[in-house]
Amino acid sequence: MKNYSYERVVTGILAVLMLIALIIVGGVEVQRRAGRVPEPYISAESLPCYECHTERGLSKISVIGWKKSKHGEKGVGCNECHLPAKEAGEEILTEKTECEDKKVRRSVSFHTCKRCHKKQFEEFEKGLHSSGMKNLELAVRTIGIEKDISSCSSCHSIGSEKNACSSCHIPHLYSTSSARKPETCARCHDGKEKAVYSYFLSSSHGTIFKVKGETWNWELKIEDWKPSLSLPASLIPDSPVCGTCHMIDGSHTVGLHKELSFKVLRMAKKGIYPLKELEREMTSEYAEEILNKRKEELKKVCIRCHTRNFFELKIKELERNIDYADTYLLNALPSLKGIYDTELIPFPQKNKNLLLYQHSYDFLTHFGKGSIY
């Protein structure tokens, strides 16, 4: 009897080819899944909102954004956020609504976000961002700004209950990947007042970001920005951005520098105090201790990519430059004070000392002659 070995071999070869084809199908599926738009889950409670807004074309962009969001995918719908939390502030609770359902509020309190994002909220509360509004109010009180401050709140409102989360996370889309991009920070940290973003762009790190940032996979958490076998090298970000140093391990404290700014600490280290109260609280040794602690924090981030020697070299250069700048500033202060005294510059006259020391750079650019305000 014929043993059909030829047929068996052909069948075997074809089966192997089929297996290869199926592996290719698997590969294509994985690739497509990476770029797949998640399917929103619309709960029964949110369905009436969704239907009404879709039929009438109300807040179209919000609905589209939500459909693409993680919230949409996980079934966190309209009512979960737009029915205010019981801890929500008076401003939100008494807000007028155009919705047929009078319980609905347009603004969302950070207490609502806290219900699911407790860790991020607690970190945020500890950070300087949460003081945005308080600082603005303090500035108004201590310096006596007479100008309309509503334009100031476009940035300072990051510290408000309504805008805390949405200042960095685009409302409805609430995308972490877009919040990671330096452009998000540039919304407030750039321009004449504080050209931090522009400084970053002109640095080596910023240049890499400019040249390669478009191809990076921003979905990756910053702590995962390291070589990986599962992603092509072109997709992995290979330069730090704002969050790399200011949001270590994704911390929403954003720097932990709520208590005192870097500038004040530098001055205190030299024994110069803009406010008498600070002199009692902050000795120059203590200021140095905090500065060293922060340097160690920074070192941990830098040595992820650079050697320790390189870090030490660069940090010394940086300290030297800052020292120069501080020396020149200190030398310039008496002259600057004289200019203020002449009132040639339309500048608030209250608490000038604090102004000169703590906010010399910032306030000059914020309110000095030539400012966009």
Partner 1 sequence: MKINIEFLNEELPETLKDFFYALGGTPFFLFFLQVFTGIFLLIYYIPSYESAYESVYRITYTIPMGWWIRGLHRYGATLFIFCLFLHMIRVFVTNAYSSPRELTWVAGGILLILSLGAGFTGYSLINDQLSYWATKVGTEIAGSVPLIGHWLSVLIKGGERISQFTVSRLFTLHIFIIPLLLAVFIAAHLLLVRKYGVSFEAERKYPLIPEHLYLEINIFIFLLTFITLISAIFPPELGERANPLRTPSHIKPEWYFYPLYLFLKLVPLKIGIMVPILFIFIFLLYPFIEKSCERLAGRGGVLLLRTAGVLLYLYFVLAIIRESIY
> What is the C-alpha separation between 251 and 112, in angstroms, rounded?
19
With contacts defined by CB under 8 A, name the span among 34-42, 178-186, 214-222, 307-315 that binds partner 1. 34-42
Q: Does 22 bind partner 1 (CB under 8 A)?
A: yes
With contacts defined by CB under 8 A, name the span among 6-14, 62-70, 285-293, 356-364 that binds partner 1. 6-14
With contacts defined by CB under 8 A, name the span among 31-39, 47-55, 96-104, 230-238 that binds partner 1. 31-39
DSSP 36: P
Question: Shortest approach of partner 1 to residue 65 CB, angstroms?
Answer: 18
> What is the C-alpha separation between 135 and 268, in angstroms, rounded?
21
Burial of 89 (0-12, 13-18, 19+ CB in 10 A): middle
Question: Shortest approach of partner 1 to residue 53 CB, angstroms?
Answer: 17
According to CB under 8 A, which one of 39, 148, 214, 277 is a site residue for partner 1?
A: 39
Q: Does 8 bind partner 1 (CB under 8 A)?
A: yes
With contacts defined by CB under 8 A, name the span among 7-15, 151-159, 339-347, 351-359 that binds partner 1. 7-15
Q: Does 29 bind partner 1 (CB under 8 A)?
A: yes
Structure tokens at 22: 């199926």
Q: Does 28 bind partner 1 (CB under 8 A)?
A: yes
Which stretches of 36-131 are DSSP H helices?
47-56, 60-68, 70-74, 78-82, 90-93, 110-114, 118-126
Q: Does 231 bind partner 1 (CB under 8 A)?
A: no
Q: Which is nearer to partner 1, 37 or 229 (CB)?
A: 37
Q: Does 56 bind partner 1 (CB under 8 A)?
A: no
Question: Shortest approach of partner 1 to residue 13 CB, angstroms?
Answer: 9
Phi and psi dihedrals of 342, rounded to 5?
-75, -15
Q: In this structure, what is the dihedral angle of CA atoms 301, 257, 119, 171, given to the nearest 10 degrees? A: -100
Identify the CA nearest to 201 among candidates 210, 190, 191: 210
DSSP 158: G
Q: Does 319 bind partner 1 (CB under 8 A)?
A: no
Give the Å distances, CA to CA, from 264 to 70, 189, 356.
Answer: 41, 19, 11
Q: Does 138 bind partner 1 (CB under 8 A)?
A: no
Q: Does 116 bind partner 1 (CB under 8 A)?
A: no
CA atoms within 13 A on the CB side of 83: 11
Number of residues that bind partner 1 (CB under 8 A): 23
The b-or-e profile of 227-261 (16+ CB within 10 A means b, else e) is eeeeeeeeebbebbbbbbbbbbeebbbbbbeeebe
Q: Does 43 bind partner 1 (CB under 8 A)?
A: no
CB atoms within 10 A of CB 373: 14
Q: Does 61 bind partner 1 (CB under 8 A)?
A: no
Identify the CA nearest to 248 among candidates 206, 301, 183, 294: 301
Question: Shortest approach of partner 1 to residue 69 CB, angstroms?
Answer: 15
Q: Which is nearer to partner 1, 12 or 338 (CB)?
A: 12
Q: Does 51 bind partner 1 (CB under 8 A)?
A: no
Question: Shortest approach of partner 1 to residue 233 CB, angstroms?
Answer: 24
Residues 250-269 touching partner 1, rule: CB under 8 A, are none
With contacts defined by CB under 8 A, name the span among 5-13, 50-58, 204-212, 346-354 that binds partner 1. 5-13
Q: Does 4 bind partner 1 (CB under 8 A)?
A: yes
Q: Which is nearer to partner 1, 7 or 45 (CB)?
A: 7
Give the Å distances, CA to CA, from 9 to 1, 2, 12.
Answer: 18, 14, 5
Q: Does 17 bind partner 1 (CB under 8 A)?
A: yes
Q: Does 15 bind partner 1 (CB under 8 A)?
A: yes
The contact set with partner 1 (CB under 8 A) reads 2, 4, 7-8, 10-11, 14-15, 17-18, 21-22, 24-25, 27-29, 32-33, 36-39
